[in-house]
Structure 1
Amino acid sequence: MKTWKRLPAVLLLIIALLAAAVMPAAAEMLDMSGFNGDLITVSKVPRGKAGNKISIKMTIHNTGTKGDNILEEIRLANAYEYERIMEREFGSSGDDDDDESGDELRRYHNSFPFEADSSTFDAKKINVKPGASKTITMSYKLRRDLPAGYYQAFFIIDGQEVGVNIWVSAYDGSSTEEDDGNNTDYDFSIGDGQFTPYAAYGQVMNFNVNLTNTGTRKVYDVRVDMQLDADVTKFPFDINEGNYNRKMGDMEPGQMVEVPYSMGVRTDVKSGFFPIHYFVTYREEEGGNFSEPVDLVFYVHVKGEDDDELAADAGEQDRTKARIIVDSFSTEPQEIYAGAPFVLKVRMKNASSNVSASNIMFTFVSEEVESSPIFTSDTGSTSMVVNSLSPGEVTELSMLFKPAPTAEQKSYRMTIQEQYDSPEFKNAKEEVKISLQVKQEPRLNTSTIEVMPDNLEVGSETNVMFGINNTGKVLLYNVMVRFEADSIQTSDTYVGNIKPGETGNVDTMVTAVAPTMDDGRVKIIISYEDENGAVTEVEKELMLFVSEAVDPYEGMEAGMMEGMDGMEGGEMEGQGSFLSKYGKIVFPIAAVLAIGAGSFIVVKRKKKKEKELEEEELDDEIS
């Protein structure tokens, strides 16, 4: 019974052995020691997955001595160079099939393992001096069709060929586009986001060096070792300690630490920029071995005694000084009005790329009109002091000003005078200018408003006259007057532009359309525009009463009705009914007839009298 229980395990073992016998052996590493010589070393075999990026880390050694060439650049060997190296150094036949030579099975892949694009074979600057070493990392994308096993990557360093073994695991379908963008597992950068430190000979330079873990993995027990040199032309600082190694502890991916230094600048140093080398070592695993040192370079700027020798006889064109400019400015409030205080904020920037400024005094000087400044400060002082500005640094100046109440509406200059020290230039003087727009408040009033008549009936018109006086200091554009009330017809009158100190006259007719039902106030709305077309309205008022129109025949009808009071009731009732219905027609006709009858009688009498006179004259002649 026990034998039967062991049978499945035995079968599995047999199957595994059979599979191993028929499967091709994974490719093995090649011996690169004789091929590379002492030019490069690799602490561990780079590993990657087919279809993803692989990071290849190596340390390059320039074994030359002083006076030999610098190793300047490195690039990946292309597919043609790869095949040639494999054929020459390792006897590759140019294909990837397993074939026998001397009854031995070839145990390595000879396929170029990388995907290539336009930048794959670009050279990378390394600049390794004679006697120095530098650790670099190169990243490339692996082909997706690679079987698992060891492959080789060959590089050309200033014409010299070197090679690195890499391990590739087979593509399993789990790779993503994000995998293609993986960063280097272990890498660092130095000096991120900081300016070049500066100091003069004999001074102490206190500075921090920013060190960033730019890899994708945590590193342990990070140590930074400044590389010293007794040669003053290579190292500008006094060497007062046995070593300048700093222990920075563990660092997470993306973490930045500041490595502090306080260094005395040598008195015999020459002015210039000095590259300071820092060797960074770390452990990939807690308690593991230290990595090969990564060589990082950080520059410092020092001023030597030679600068002072230049300053003794050099003109301004021979000496460099900082360039301080206005980066931007603003005011609070945004619009400045004559006589109203405002806060001016100016951002000053040292636009120099490598020259600092110190002991800086900024003085604000206003434009003057008739020997009087337009802008004044309540404190009386218009100067400010800033201790220093590094190259590219910005500082903000803020000061309260008040424009003269009588200032005309226009732009005025504000000059910012600068006086400062630069390493090669003491008491440098410069000035920059800005322009500030000052506005005046528009002002107007009206003369006595005349209304003739001020009482009228519906349907009648009245004449309105008054003057608009521009009492401000700005032109009033497109002045309009509008009359509004329930009792009148709304109307507009165009006056035009009114210059400062002048008057625009209004003379218009207003038509009554309804009886006044309130206190008789009529709105007068005066509108004008500024130079930007913005409209402002000012409201005034006048008094005007409108009454119902009266019928001119209403009294005559009433009189005639009263004269008929003595008539009998029936007759009166009929006449009253008739007159109330046709009175407005009958009375005018009766009046015309009466006038006509009167005229006929007068003419008749005149003719009769003329006839009588003729008869009397005839009787006199006969007698």
Structure 2
Amino acid sequence: MSAKEKAADPAQAQAGNEAVSRISEGTQDNKELTRIRISVGDGQETPVFKAGEKASLQINVFNSGNMDAQDVRIAPVIEDADSWPFELDKLNYEQKLGTLQAGQQASAFWGAGDGKLTVKSDVTGKAYKLVFRITYDDGKTGYETEKYIFVKTEAKEKPAEGGDSGGQESGGQGQPGESNGGASQSGSLNQELDGGGFINNDPVISGGGGTESGSGSVPRVIVTGFDTEPGEVHAGSDFKLIVHLKNTSQRTAVSNMVFDLQAAASGTEAAAEAPAFLPSSGSSSIYLEKIAAGGTKDIAIDLNARADLIQKPYGITMDMKYEDSSAVQYEAQSSLAIPVKQEARFEFSEIRIAPDTVSVGEEANISCSLYNLGRVKMYNVKVRMEGEMIEAEEQFIGNLDAGGTGTIDSIVTAVKETAGNEECKLILSYEDDAGNVNTAEQKFPMTVMQEMIPEDMEMMAGEIPEEGHTPAGMIIAIIVLAAAGITAAVVLIKRRKKKSRGLEEEELFDEVERFTEDER
């Protein structure tokens, strides 16, 4: 019985992508599944084969699972001769590796000893994707999976030409000739570069006046960088992409150049996949008449970034077609990765003040909700209340995920009387992915009355007779009684306010709870 496993994602140009076989043992109570996990090419560099040479190919096969793989066999999948860079001089290329224990590695060799592989003499210097079928079993069930690696080739040497260079791999950020060491694997043109950048691949002859250039060399047109206007590309906005080109040949000019730019598709389950960037004019092709030997030129195109893109780099593949002075036609391909920024979007709910009117020296509770409506995370969110009539401490909310809700709940103290409603500010600050601090304000009105004087104190003060008509003892007694009355009044007022505030907070909590139940 054989189960076919799915191969690794072909968009990842990386040898050693993993497939997993899992065999359940016992009941569902078992905490660990026994598994066989096969990968290829671990720790190996991409091999390079020169046209016409005798060579050997070694591939490491690793079992990173916790169960032995038995009767392991590996063989290349050759669908047509053009997909295999070696001469087909054998009927069977299968290699037997025997039992591959858990955590162990074995190597498969093609071309060992006298049976060397012969690299085809007509390889053009491109990269080949070699697919291998691996079969194995666990003692009960047989399994089959397909893995792939990439190998590079070098065409036959031609007369040296000053200034010509091979395929270039760069990680620049759009400045001509600038490189930041971005790495890639040949043959993967649509891969994303984490920080943005570009990749160049070698040209191939596609037709025209002969099989090679009239000067005996292949003129290469490469991307040396790119710029965008504006400098940052925001989702949903228009921008201009300016690509810097260079003809590396010091002898041969190239002409009749056509460039076609295609953005990688991007989408979610809720939205059909579509290109991340679309040309504003409707055409993705650019024509350039000529680049002189050793010369540079720029091409530009107006694009629009989709509004629903998340914040990350998105790839653009640029296909190039051009001719040399002998009308030999060439095709080449470069890839660019353009970082896209997403603006943070958020809203405040209605700001509630409890109680709605306070006196100097009293406290009020100010609360609302913060909704993150954007597609980016808000980091280190903080809130503070500002106004001439209030004092408050800063509140730290923390990180707020896209689509999340934060609660703002602050206590302010009234310090100054207002003439009716006066304006206060809720000031929000947060950081983006790069650590840049952003702020926003939300205004709200607030009323502060003068400090309240207890009625008992006013009444007692009014009953004090004028000096000279009342005995001193009675004056002292009245003062003592007045002080006691004031103290009792203050305590009573504070208790009433505390009780009132508690009832208001309880009503607010009930409203929130009812709202939550309605949402459910």
Larger RCO (alpha carbons 8 Å, 6+ apart): 2
More helix by percentage = 1
